[in-house]
């Protein structure tokens, strides 16, 4: 049966190609010839290899091998990965409403989602899951745990949890529900009537959520500007991106054009509604992790001169994927087209069909990038992601912060603090006493770190000893090392503000949920604050939109 499944699956892929596209006779013959060879190789090895072969794993390896010759966005989804498709397209799945991750070998609750079974029944961030339905899960990877927690809405999940401050494990009986993952994770006002909307993904409801956010902002006050934050948004549905742009640009505006393999496969997407925020100053925040649908939105807003793009250059993904259902509840996400912004440029940076001699995909050199113009005549480049109109660099964190974050010390201290202080709110702040408590907590956890200066000095010492430099030089290095130790001892004082901000976010997140955490982060978010100031300055905003 497994052999039949694999062969039927491959035949299904070919049948789909044959039905969906016109192919010339020569190509059709090549496909049939190679399918026959592939099928024979698969059958012979599966039945005759000296060791027993798992036919499904073997076929999966063959599919993965074929897809590796293409771009990384063409992906095969097996029958157990249907929930991933639902999450991509609909933004929903069956679960109990928790975000989990690995911490110190334990599967730990990172955040319960507001309004679902886990949060309503008292599961908290920092809780360690030790059993699911009677099965111990220590050292299990997060994906395996997710597959055990997710399932049909209306069914039960039994969890045993360890919580700091509790003498013994806690038992929970949670009910799976249809989890709707929000596209807009936060919206609210900053200063001077500037509204802020953070969009994390592009599923089918994204446009409706953005529209609702704008309505709520208008109902609360005079909306003088909007920041649409697409930082770290990896994208999603093309139609959702078109829907969102339609909220800001004139009806009938060209938003994006897609072109497939054949010349007759071009499709133009336009704004098909009157905008709800057509004349409000707009800024779109992007960074290197803003990709795909995020870049469709940013590219359209930039090319139509509807608003300014702020932050850092985006990822540079100008490819469109289509999800095609196959046999046996499997699916293929395949790149079927390139997309072009209203000015006609493709922002795709990496050429996935060509590699250099080291096997690295080629990137379009600056000399081969072409200039295009926005509606106002501003110059923009293709093959370059979306370059911001106003570059605002992201904050660079200290070595101390990075090491604390890498070892989850902020997260762990927040768990410890909340176990001792059960009540708090969104207005929580970190004073000197709490910062001192954090420093003492790190001592109990035996936290140590090396900054860049120490590492460089250690490397230099190794070279000097290898080259047999004099003892005087080695002594000088030792003197520098001792001085660095003294400086490192004052790291808490030098980076106090940075540490306060992160601690505040973590602890407020425990008391006020994800929305509270985001709101707390905005008070010290350099890029957001600078963008709000730009929107508040009519002169500065207008100047950026001129050629």
Are 409 and 445 in contact by the 8 Å Cβ rule? The answer is yes
Q: How far apart are CA 547 and CA 544, in angstroms?
A: 8
Are 348 and 269 in contact by the 8 Å Cβ rule? The answer is no
**Candidates 46, 246, 253, 292; catalytic one:** 292
**Candidates 200, 243, 303, 305; catalytic one:** 303
Write down all domains in the chain, each with its CATH number in brackets. 2-69 (no CATH), 92-180 (2.30.42.10), 184-325+338-394 (3.90.226.10), 399-449+495-527 (no CATH)
Q: What is the pLDDT of residue 15?
A: 45
CB-count burial class (<10 Å; 0-12, 13-18, 19+) for 296: buried
The length of the chain, given as a count of residues: 547
Tokens of 237: 């549905």
Of 133, 5, 152, nearest to 83 by C-alpha is 152
Q: What is the pLDDT of residue 370?
A: 96
List Cα–Cα distances, 112 to 104, 106, 225, 294, in angstroms.
19, 17, 32, 26
- Strand-pairing partners, residue 285, are 229, 310
Q: What is the pLDDT of residue 19?
A: 45
Q: What is the pLDDT of residue 17?
A: 47
Does the annotation mark 3 as catalytic?
no
**Candidates 200, 317, 333, 389; catalytic one:** 317
DSSP secondary-structure letter at 80?
G
Predicted confidence (pLDDT) per residue in 180-196, tens digit: 999 999 999 999 999 99
Does the annotation mark 303 as catalytic?
yes
Predicted confidence (pLDDT) per residue in 54-74, tens digit: 999 999 999 999 999 999 999
Rounded to a whole number, what is the distance in angstroms from the first to the last CA of the chain?
65
Q: How far apart are CA 468 and CA 476, in angstroms?
A: 14
CA angle 393, 399, 405 (to 5 degrees): 90
Tens-of-pLDDT digits for all 547 residues of the chain?
A: 444 444 334 344 444 444 444 456 788 999 999 999 999 999 999 999 999 999 999 999 999 999 999 999 999 998 877 777 877 788 888 999 999 998 888 999 999 999 999 999 999 999 999 999 999 998 888 888 998 999 999 999 999 999 999 999 999 999 999 999 999 999 999 999 999 999 999 999 999 999 999 999 999 999 999 999 999 999 999 999 999 999 999 999 999 999 999 888 899 999 999 999 999 999 999 999 999 999 999 999 999 999 999 999 999 999 999 999 999 989 999 999 999 999 999 999 999 988 888 888 889 888 999 999 999 999 999 999 999 999 999 999 998 999 999 899 999 999 999 999 988 988 999 999 999 999 999 999 999 887 778 788 888 888 888 888 888 888 888 888 888 878 777 888 999 999 999 999 999 999 999 999 999 999 999 999 999 999 999 999 999 999 9
Q: Are strands 308-311 and 390-391 parallel, antiparallel or unpaired?
A: parallel
Does the annotation mark 466 as catalytic?
no
Q: How far apart are CA 308 and CA 243, in angstroms?
A: 19
For the entire predicted model, the pTM comes to 0.87
Q: How far apart are CA 323 and CA 321, in angstroms?
A: 7
Alpha-helical (H) ranges within 21-162 are 25-48, 55-67, 82-89, 117-120, 142-149
Are 184 and 199 in contact by the 8 Å Cβ rule? The answer is yes
Q: How far apart are CA 195 and CA 256, in angstroms?
A: 26
Are 175 and 156 in contact by the 8 Å Cβ rule? The answer is yes
Q: What is the pLDDT of residue 487?
A: 78
Tally of CA atoms within 13 A in the half-sphere of 538 that contains its CB? 2
């Amino acid at each position: 049966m497994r052999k039949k499944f694999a062969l039927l699956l491959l035949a299904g892929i070919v049948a789909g190609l044959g039905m969906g596209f016109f192919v010339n006779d020569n190509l059709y013959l090549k496909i049939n010839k190679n399918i026959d060879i592939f099928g024979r190789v698969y059958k012979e090895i599966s039945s005759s290899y000296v060791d027993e072969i798992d036919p499904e794993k073997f076929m999966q390896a063959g599919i993965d091998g074929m897809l590796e010759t293409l771009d990384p966005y063409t992906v095969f989804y097996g029958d157990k990965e249907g929930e991933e498709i639902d999450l991509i397209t609909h933004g929903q799945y069956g679960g109990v409403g928790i975000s989990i991750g690995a911490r110190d070998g334990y599967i730990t609750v990172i955040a319960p989602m507001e309004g679902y079974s886990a949060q309503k029944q008292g599961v908290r961030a920092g809780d360690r899951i030790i059993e699911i339905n009677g099965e111990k899960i220590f050292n299990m990877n997060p994906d395996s745990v997710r597959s055990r927690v997710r399932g049909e809405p209306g069914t039960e999940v039994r969890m045993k949890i360890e919580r700091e401050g509790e003498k013994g494990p806690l038992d929970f009986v949670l009910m799976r529900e249809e989890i709707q993952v929000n596209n807009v994770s936060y919206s609210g006002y900053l200063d001077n009537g500037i509204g802020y909307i953070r969009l994390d993904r592009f599923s089918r409801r994204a446009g409706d959520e953005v529209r609702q956010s704008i309505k709520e902002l208008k109902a609360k006050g005079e909306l003088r500007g909007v920041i649409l934050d697409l930082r770290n948004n990896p994208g999603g549905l093309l139609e959702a991106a078109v829907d969102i742009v339609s909220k800001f640009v004139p009806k009938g505006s060209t938003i994006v054009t897609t072109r497939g393999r054949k010349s007759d496969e071009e499709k133009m997407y336009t704004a098909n509604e009157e905008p709800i925020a057509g004349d409000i100053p707009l800024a779109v925040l992007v960074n290197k992790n803003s990709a795909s649908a995020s870049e469709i939105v940013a590219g359209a807003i930039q090319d139509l001169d509807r608003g300014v793009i702020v932050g850092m250059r985006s990822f540079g993904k100008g490819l469109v994927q289509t999800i095609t259902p196959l046999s046996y509840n499997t699916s293929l996400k395949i790149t079927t087209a390139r997309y072009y912004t209203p000015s006609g440029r493709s922002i795709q940076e990496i050429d996935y069909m060509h590699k250099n001699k080291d096997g690295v995909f080629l990137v379009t050199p600056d000399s081969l990038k072409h200039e295009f113009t926005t509606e106002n005549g501003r110059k923009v480049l293709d093959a370059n992601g979306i370059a911001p109109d106003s570059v605002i660099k992201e904050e660079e964190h200290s070595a101390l912060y990075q090491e604390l974050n890498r070892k989850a010390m902020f997260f762990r201290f927040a768990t410890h603090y909340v176990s001792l202080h059960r009540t708090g709110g969104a207005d929580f702040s970190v004073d000197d006493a709490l910062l001192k408590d954090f420093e003492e907590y790190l001592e109990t956890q035996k936290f140590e770190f090396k900054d860049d200066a120490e590492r460089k000095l250690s490397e230099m010492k190794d070279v000097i000893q290898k080259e047999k430099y004099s003892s005087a030089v080695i002594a000088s290095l030792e003197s520098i090392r001792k001085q660095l130790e003294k400086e490192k001892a004052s790291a808490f004082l030098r980076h106090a503000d940075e540490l306060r901000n992160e601690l505040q976010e973590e602890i407020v997140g425990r008391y006020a949920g994800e929305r509270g955490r985001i709101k707390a982060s905005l008070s010290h978010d350099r890029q957001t604050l600078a963008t709000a100031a730009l929107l508040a300055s009519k002169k500065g905003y207008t100047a950026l939109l001129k050629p």
